[in-house]
Amino acid sequence: MADNCCKSSVFKVLIIKPSSLGDILHALPVVEIIKEKYPDAVIDWMVAPQFSPLLELHPGIRRKILFRRKQLGKFFSFFPAFLELVRELRSEKYDMVIDMQGLLRSSFFARLARTKVIWGFSDTREKMASFFYNRKVKTPEDKHHAVEKNLYLVCEAMGVPFKMPAWVPPRNEAACMRLKDTFSKEGIQQGKTFVGIVPGARWKTKEWPPDFFASVVSLIAGELPYVEFIMIGSSDDSTAASEISRLAAPGAVIHDLTGKTGISELVELVRTCLVVLANDSGPMHIAAILKVFVFALFGPTDPEKTGPFGDSNEVFAADKGCIKCMRRYCVDGSYGCHSAIDPGMAAARISQILKKSGAK
C-alpha cells in the first residue's frame, strides 16, 4: 500500500533518474502508473540538464530539478551548485521519493529531499545506495528489462498490481515546426518513406562500421527506389554518417541530419521514419517508445535487459560466444560480433517490413 506522509491533499512524488537518454526513456512510463493511482499527483524529476528535454515527452511531469554534474565535479563551482540543488530538493515536501538510478550519489540526494519515504531497489548497482532507502524492492527474476524493473518498483510504491501501461509520447507540435524548418533548409520533402539510420553509439563495440550501413542502404535503395534514408544522431556521429553516404550506391537518397536537431526535434524526426536501423543507442530507445519499428544491432550488451522494449522491433545479434561481453573495446580487436551480421540479411528483413507496410 502506498505511503502517505504529508498532510496535503495533493500527492507529491519526486523521481530521481538523472541520466542517460535511454535510461530516462525506460523510466518515463512509470508516470502513467502514478497518475492512474493519483490523477492529480504532482510529479517532479531530478535530471541532468542535457537530458531535461526528454521530460517534455510526458505532460504529467511538473518540474525539472537539474542535476548539474559538471559543476558539482569542479572545486570552484561545487558549493554553489550543491547548495542550489539542495534548495531545489527541499523546496517541496514530498509524500515519497523514488530513486531509480540506484547509485550512492542519487540515494544521497534522495535522502536530502523533504520526505519520510524513500523507495529504491534492494539490489542497486552500488550496494551502499540502498542504505539510504527505507522502502526497498527486490525485482522478481522474470522482470529482466529495465522498463519492467522500473515499473515493478513504482507499482510496489503505489500499492498496485504490476502492469504495463500502453503509453506513447504525444506529438510535440513546437518541435515538429522546428523540424519542418530543418527539412526545408536541407531540401527534404515531407511525406516520403523514410528509413532512419543511427550510426553512432556511446561505446566503440556498439558501433557497427560505416560499410555495413552503406551496404544495407545500397541494397534497400536498389530494391525499393522510393525509400529515402535519414542519418540520425549527434554531431559526434557526423563522420560516420558522411562515410556511409560516400560508400553507398549513387542512387541512394541520403539526408544527413546528424548534429542538426536538439533532443525534442530528434524525437519527432524518429517519429517520421517508417523503420529505423540502429546501434544500441538513445535514438534506438526513442524509436521503441514511439512504436516505430526498429531493427537494433546488439553485440556487447544484453537486449533482454536494455534492448528496444515492446513488440515493434527486431534484434540482430551474432551467434558468438563473446557477445554480451559488456566491454567498451574488443579484447582481440576483431569485432567479430559486427562482421558476423550479414548486411544482406538485414536489408532483406527491413525491405520486408517496408513492403508489408504498403508505403510507396
Residue 328 in domain: yes
Residue 167 in domain: no
Domain termination residue (choose one: 158, 184, 203): 158
Domain termination residue (choose one: 115, 133, 158): 158
Residue 169 in domain: no
Residue 165 in domain: no
111 and 203 inside one domain? no
User: Residue 150's pLDDT is what?
Assistant: 97
Are 95 and 13 a contacting pair, CB within 8 Å? yes
| Sheet of 227-231, strand order | 253-256, 227-231, 193-198, 275-279, 293-298, 313-317
User: Residue 338's pLDDT is what?
Assistant: 94
User: Residue 97's pLDDT is what?
Assistant: 99
214 and 333 inside one domain? yes
181 and 140 inside one domain? no
253 and 291 inside one domain? yes
130 and 207 inside one domain? no
Residue 313's DSSP bridge partners are 294
- Most distant pair of Cα atoms in the chain: their distance: 67
Mention every residue, 6+ apart, whose C-beta is less than 8 A from residue 235: 258, 259
Number of domains comprising the chain: 2
User: Residue 225's pLDDT is what?
Assistant: 97
Residue 238 in domain: yes
DSSP alpha helix (H) spans, 187-313: 210-223, 238-247, 263-272, 282-289, 303-306
Are 212 and 182 a contacting pair, CB within 8 Å? no
Distance set, CA 108 to CA 5, 16, 154, 256 (Å): 20, 11, 19, 42
CATH code, domain with 102: 3.40.50.2000
343 and 286 inside one domain? yes
Question: DSSP 3-state assignment of 2?
Answer: coil
Q: Give the DSSP H/E element, type plus range, for residue 24.
A: helix 21-27
| Sheet of 42-47, strand order | 63-66, 42-47, 12-16, 96-99, 118-121, 135-137
User: Residue 360's pLDDT is what?
Assistant: 75
Residue 1 in domain: no
| Low-confidence spans in the chain with pLDDT less than 50 | 1, 5-6
User: Residue 152's pLDDT is what?
Assistant: 98
First to last CA, the chain: 52
Identify the domain containing residue 69 by its residue range. 12-158
User: Residue 3's pLDDT is what?
Assistant: 59
218 and 138 inside one domain? no
190 and 271 inside one domain? yes
330 and 242 inside one domain? yes
Distance set, CA 302 to CA 285, 295, 323, 349, 355 (Å): 14, 15, 8, 21, 30
150 and 194 inside one domain? no
Residue 206 in domain: yes
User: Residue 8's pLDDT is what?
Assistant: 56
122 and 45 inside one domain? yes
The dihedrals phi and psi of 228, each to the nearest 5 degrees, come to -115, 150
Fill in the amino acid letter for 211.
D
91 and 147 inside one domain? yes
Grid coordinates of 220: 534497400
Question: DSSP 3-state assignment of 355?
Answer: helix
Residue 145 in domain: yes
